[in-house]
Amino acid sequence: MATYRETPYGVFNYLVNLGDGSEGEVQGGFSEVSGLNAEVTVAEYRNGNEAVNYVRKIPAINKAGDVTLKRGVIGAENIYNWLEQIRGGDVTAKRDVVIKLKNEDPTSASAVVTWKLVRAMPIKWTGPTLTAKGGSDVAMEELVLSVETIIQS
Q: Give the DSSP per-residue string, 61-127.
A: EEEE--EEEEEE--S--HHHHHHHHHHTT-GGG-EEEEEEEE-S-TT---EEEEEEEEEEEEEEEE-
- CA dist 108 and 98 (Å) reads 17
Contacts of 1 (CB under 8 A, 6+ apart): 153
- Please give the pLDDT value at position 1: 66
Predicted confidence pLDDT, tens digits, the chain (153 residues)? 677 888 888 888 888 999 887 776 777 788 999 999 999 999 999 999 989 999 999 999 999 999 999 999 988 889 999 999 999 999 899 999 999 998 888 777 788 999 999 999 999 999 998 888 877 788 999 999 999 999 999
- Please give the pLDDT value at position 98: 94
pTM: 0.86
Q: What single letter denotes the amino acid at residue 151?
A: I
Q: What single letter denotes the amino acid at residue 120?
A: A
| Cα separations in angstroms, 93 against 33, 76, 79, 82, 117 | 21, 18, 12, 7, 14
- Please give the pLDDT value at position 135: 73
